[in-house]
Amino acid sequence: MDRRRQIGMSEAEVATFLEEQGTLVCAPLGPGGRPHLAALWYLPVGRGVDCWTYAASRKARNLERDPRASLLTKRVGVRFRPTRVSSWDHRKLG
């Protein structure tokens, strides 16, 4: 048996894994063909996941133009609570 089959997850393990997570990284292709990485909340539905975002978002526009995307979710063992949050206006970065 090859290594990939040894470490593969069963259908039940995949379902449990997806239920435990809640966020994924979506990478649709931008106009120039480069991936645009964006985090999304999701809900497991059947054998897939449902995600949502604003219709005017870049990821939504990219997916309308080209429906191909890669999705990634992973188990995170470290959780933290930020003590300070900073934000800036990307338009002012030049």
Cα(3)–Cα(39) distance, integer angstroms: 30
Beta bridge partners of 49: 44
With respect to residue 69, please indicate whether it lies within any of the assigned structural domains: yes
With respect to residue 93, please indicate whether it lies within any of the assigned structural domains: no
Beta carbons within 8 Å of 42's beta carbon, 6+ residues apart: 18, 21, 22, 23, 24, 49, 50, 51, 73
CATH number at residue 17: 2.30.110.10
With respect to residue 85, please indicate whether it lies within any of the assigned structural domains: no
Residue type, 33: G
Mean of pLDDT values over 23-47: 91
**What SS3 state is found at 19?**
helix
With respect to residue 37, please indicate whether it lies within any of the assigned structural domains: yes
For 10, the domain range is: 3-74
pLDDT at 2: 80
25 has a pLDDT exceeding 80: yes
Phi, psi for residue 20 in degrees, rounded to 5? -80, -20
On whether the pTM is more than 0.75, the answer is no
With respect to residue 33, please indicate whether it lies within any of the assigned structural domains: yes
